[in-house]
Structure formats: structure tokens, C-alpha cells
Amino acid sequence: MNRNQDVVHRAVGKAGIVLVAEGNPNRVKSLLAAEKKKMNRIVADVPVHDLVVGTGEGQVELKKLRTTMLKLPRVLTGPQVTATNDRLRALGDLMSNMPLPKGPMPKGMRMPRGGGPKAR
């Protein structure tokens, strides 16, 4: 995800890894390329497909996304899909680029009380 809320989703199945991108197609290309490079580095023997959701040329409409993904050629077996998914999950924590907050950790903060309904 980036500042403009362009998102790349990852799906693992018998067709391999499918990257589904949402957002402006020009901005999404760089996100797709970066994610595809990561996937090829982690699991080189698994095919990586990329799809862009939208109504323009070269894009897949949202209502046709499922059928498009089902039409992809099946390359992996069930155990291979499980192994690939487990591998990506295990490395997912290492690959996340979440920024760490700067500055000292606050020590004297009190937790706010519950915001539930007040008793009368």
C-alpha cells in the first residue's frame, strides 16, 4: 500500500501466486514490479501472475476477477500450494516494511477508561 491507497493483494493457489492490484494503473505498476521481485526471490520455482482491477484497457473488472483467476493454468499440486503459502507467511513478518515510531517510549501515560455506556 502507498500514500494514495493503491493496494496489491496476494493470493496463493494452484495457478501459483496471483498479485491483484487496485488503484491508478500508472502508480500500481511500480508496486506490482516490487512485489513480483520479492516473490521471485522467495519462491523462484512458482509462477507469479499479476492482475490490475479496473475498467480500462488491459484491466480486469472486479466482477470478472474470480473467473479470470480460475482460468489461469494450474501448475502446482495441493501440497506445493500449502508449502508455498507457509513459506510466504513465515517470511511475511520479515518482509513487512512498517515504519517504526521515532522518539522515546512514553512511560507515564495512563490508559483511558472504557468508553462504554455510563451507568445511571
Structure confidence at residue 63 (pLDDT) = 92
At 31, the pLDDT band (50, 70, 90 cuts) reads confident
Is the per-residue pLDDT at 103 higher than 60?
yes
Which pLDDT tens digit goes with each residue over 33-83? 988 888 888 888 899 999 999 888 888 999 999 999 999 999 998 899 999
At 5, the pLDDT band (50, 70, 90 cuts) reads confident
Q: Among 70, 35, 66, 71, which Cα is nearest to 50's?
A: 35
Which pLDDT tens digit goes with each residue over 104-115? 766 766 666 666
| Pairwise pLDDT comparison (95 vs 41), residue with the higher score | 41
For 46, the grid coordinates are 512458482
Whether 21 contacts 53, CB under 8 Å: yes
Structure confidence at residue 70 (pLDDT) = 92
Q: Among 48, 51, 81, 47, which Cα is nearest to 65's?
A: 51
Whether 4 contacts 23, CB under 8 Å: yes
